[in-house]
């Protein structure tokens, strides 16, 4: 099926954690969305691939995403090979999105960085008639979301209105999160203060644009604005409130 927004995640849970708010905002406005997980997360420290598949379906339902797929590339060894690019090209042609979301192509986790490069390298190929199968399609916009590696955002999306639902979607991944009384290996996402730190991260970027919670994104190309009045003036948060008289 064709969708407006297609989000690629290296592992089940990455999309919920890093760009779930933007997906929720798009769906809230009547747009359709799909998620493609690149791997099954089978080499993760916690949980099994089957558990994560069940959790990914719960996450999909919580976000209200129409479709979720998994390309089944090897977890921990994602590379932008010819075969991997053709798989992504086929996915882009099948769903025909205008907007694509992918992890920033530099990151602590090699799968995150490789997924960003894989998706970026496949977008142009998807528009070439002599590459792969299916009707060519090249998305309009590619936005990179932030994982571990910080960058100066091109834009920050206000996700305040959907932030509680985003947290609900993240909490679907019980095998990955801290559970009191459960003896499991220590991981970043499985640490007791993970959600607290995640909230602080969203507050940090929200503060930069005058809202409570924000998600940062980066685009290599300038983003055109169709309606400057709505985008810039309605509503306009007060980034720098006027000085009060003594």
Residue with tokens 């997906």: 23
Residue 229: the pLDDT is: 80
Torsion of CA 42, 45, 50, 56, to 10 degrees: -90
| Residue 136 pLDDT greater than 90, yes or no | yes
Give the tens place of pLDDT for each residue, 175-189.
Answer: 999 888 787 888 989
Q: How far apart (Å, rounded) are the C-alpha atoms in residues 43 and 37?
A: 14
Q: What is the CATH number of domain 5-233?
A: 3.40.50.10320
CB atoms within 10 A of CB 70: 19
153 pLDDT higher than 60: yes
Domain residue ranges of the chain, discontinuous segments joined by +: 5-233
Q: Express as a percent the part of the chain with pLDDT over 90.
A: 81
pLDDT for 61 beyond 70:
yes
Q: Does residue 117 register a pLDDT over 50?
A: yes
pLDDT(88) > 50: yes
pLDDT of 172 reads: 97
Does the pLDDT of residue 239 top 70, yes or no? no
Q: Which whole number is the average pLDDT over 95-118?
A: 97
- E runs forming strands in the chain: 5-9, 33-39, 67-73, 99-103, 141-145, 155-158, 214-218
| Whether pLDDT at 90 is above 70 | yes
Predicted model pTM: 0.92
| Mean pLDDT value across the chain | 92
Give the mean pLDDT of 22-35. Answer: 96
Residues 162 and 200: their CA atoms lie apart, in Å, by 16
- The DSSP symbol for 160 reads G
Which two tokens mark 209?
A: 């644009």
Which pLDDT score, from 0 to 100, does residue 28 have?
Answer: 95
Buried b (16+ CB within 10 A) or exposed e, 158-167: bbeebbebbb
- How many CB atoms lie under 10 A from the CB of residue 96? 17
In sequence order, what are the residues at sequence separation of 6 or more whose Cβ sits closer than 8 angstroms to the Cβ of residue 229?
none
Q: CA 66, 199, 172 angle in degrees (round to 5)?
A: 40
Please say whether the dihedral angle defined by the alpha carbons of residues 76, 77, 83 and 86, taken in this order, is positive or negative. positive
In the structure encoding, which two tokens stand for residue 70, read together? 């998994």
In angstroms, the CA 149 to CA 193 distance is 20
What pLDDT digit, counting tens, does each position of 173-230 carry? Answer: 999 998 887 878 889 898 999 999 999 999 999 999 999 999 999 999 998 888 888 7
- What pLDDT is recorded for position 160? 96
Provide the 3-class DSSP secondary structure of residue 214.
Answer: strand
Residue 246: pLDDT over 50: no
- 238: pLDDT strictly greater than 90: no
């Amino acid at each position: 099926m064709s969708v407006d927004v297609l989000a690629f995640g290296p592992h089940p849970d990455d999309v919920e954690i890093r760009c779930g708010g933007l997906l929720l905002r798009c769906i809230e406005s009547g747009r359709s969305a799909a998620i493609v997980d690149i791997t099954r997360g089978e080499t993760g420290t916690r949980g099994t691939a089957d558990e994560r598949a069940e959790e990914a379906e719960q996450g999909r339902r919580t976000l209200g995403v129409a479709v979720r797929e998994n390309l089944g590339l090897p977890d921990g060894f994602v590379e932008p090979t010819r075969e991997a690019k053709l798989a992504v090209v086929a996915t882009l042609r099948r769903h025909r999105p205008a907007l694509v979301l992918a992890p920033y192509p530099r990151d602590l986790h090699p799968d995150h960085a490789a997924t960003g490069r894989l998706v970026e390298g496949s977008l142009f190929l998807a528009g070439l008639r002599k590459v792969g199968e299916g009707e060519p399609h090249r998305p309009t916009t590619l936005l990179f979301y932030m994982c571990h590696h910080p960058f100066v955002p091109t834009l920050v999306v206000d996700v305040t209105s959907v932030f509680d639902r985003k947290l609900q979607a993240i909490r679907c991944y019980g095998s990955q999160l801290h559970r009191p009384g459960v003896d499991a290996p220590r991981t970043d996402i499985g640490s007791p203060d993970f959600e607290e730190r995640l909230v602080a991260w969203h507050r940090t970027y929200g503060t930069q644009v005058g809202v409570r919670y924000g998600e940062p994104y980066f685009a290599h190309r300038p983003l055109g604005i169709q309606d400057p009045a709505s985008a810039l003036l309605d509503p306009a948060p007060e980034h720098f409130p006027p000085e009060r008289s003594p």
